[in-house]
Amino acid sequence: MGLVDVEMQAALDQPLLSVTGLTKRYGARIGCGDVSFELFPGEVMGIVGESGSGKSTLLSCLAGHLVPDQGQVTYAGRDVLAMAETERRRLSRTEWAYVHQNPRDGLRMGVSAGGNVGERLMAVGARHYGSIRETATDWLGRVEIAADRIDDRPSAFSGGMQQRLQIARNLVTGPRLVFMDEPTGGLDVSVQARLLDLLRGLVRDMGLSVIIVTHDLAVVRLLADRLMVMKGGRVVEQGLTDQVLDDPQDAYTQLLVSSVLQV
């Protein structure tokens, strides 16, 4: 463990995730082209763009769900694309987390809330029922789900609760890097606001690095430190969130910012 601690100290000044020239093609079409960026520990990066702009493709490539055609992804000094699948899958259930847009994709609908939260713990070797249950109860509390719902299945939960359960299930092993694909999509605005509030608290408390894909500029305004704007598979603009949103340089970003309805 000592060696890991030293590595982690050194890693604070190093980017946690660095991406160079990432390209994914679907036949002749480009999914995402020549994307490069760095993500530092504790940083939240937003990726915005319209539907079909390649942001979900990019996220899938980063999380290892899709294999990119070109480029390099380095996580904490390790080449993600070159590492053995065993190691990559171990990463994705310990140090990484992936929050799906539709909670049904990220949850086991036939398993109780407690089982859903406990799965990652058991996957990394927890074998004590009492302590698994205790941790699960604690996490349900942290995402504002009543403790007496622990034995209910997610199918008995509302959409907002399912999404919060999915977040608890992902964060229970204390990951360092979280991928989120439209975490607030399909939720009504008041539920969205509470979820964002919750996410912001968790990100600050746990010092998470997050890559969050969304088409909702309000979400990135609240959560993201930095912003990347994509169009047609390419990055058209990136920078600090407030800078990009308040003083957009690229024509598409200007259009995007001015398209938001002011209430």
Partner 1 sequence: MTDQAYNFAYLDEQTKRMIRRAILKGLAVPGYQVPFASREMPMPYGWGTGGVQVTAACLTPEDVLKVIDQGADDTTNAVSIRKFFQRTAGVRVTERTAEASVIQTRHRIPEAPLREGQILVYQVPIPEPLRFLEPREAETRKMHELEEYGLMHVKLYEDIARHGEIATSYAYPVKVEGRYVMDPSPIPKFDNPKLGDCPAIQLFGAGREQRIYAVPPYTKVESLDFEDHPFVASKAPHDCDLCGAGESYLDEVIIDDAGGRMFVCSDTDFCSGRQAAGHRGRFSPEGM
**Chain residues that interact with partner 1, rule: CB under 8 A:** 85-86, 89, 93, 108, 111-112, 114-115, 118-120, 122-124, 127-130, 132-133, 150-151
CB of 123 to partner 1, least distance (A): 3
Cβ contacts of residue 36 below 8 Å, gap of 6+?
19, 20, 21, 22, 71, 235
C-beta of 97 vs 132, nearer to partner 1 = 132
- Decide: helix, strand or coil at residue 239: strand
Residue 53 half-sphere exposure, CB side, CA atoms within 13 Å?
Answer: 20
C-beta of 140 vs 223, nearer to partner 1 = 140
As a whole number of angstroms, the distance between CA 71 and CA 89 comes to 20
CB of 108 to partner 1, least distance (A): 7
CB of 31 to partner 1, least distance (A): 23
As a whole number of angstroms, the distance between CA 145 and CA 224 comes to 25
C-beta of 86 vs 258, nearer to partner 1 = 86
Pairing of strands 17-26, 70-75: antiparallel
CB of 58 to partner 1, least distance (A): 24
Q: What are the tokens at 4?
A: 């890991």
CB of 89 to partner 1, least distance (A): 6
C-beta of 46 vs 118, nearer to partner 1 = 118
C-beta of 64 vs 248, nearer to partner 1 = 64
As a whole number of angstroms, the distance between CA 220 and CA 42 comes to 15
C-beta of 22 vs 132, nearer to partner 1 = 132
Identify the bridge partners of residue 35 per DSSP, sorted by sequence position: 22
Token pair 């990055």 is at which residue?
Answer: 235
CB of 86 to partner 1, least distance (A): 5
Is 184 in contact with 101 (CB distance < 8 Å)? no
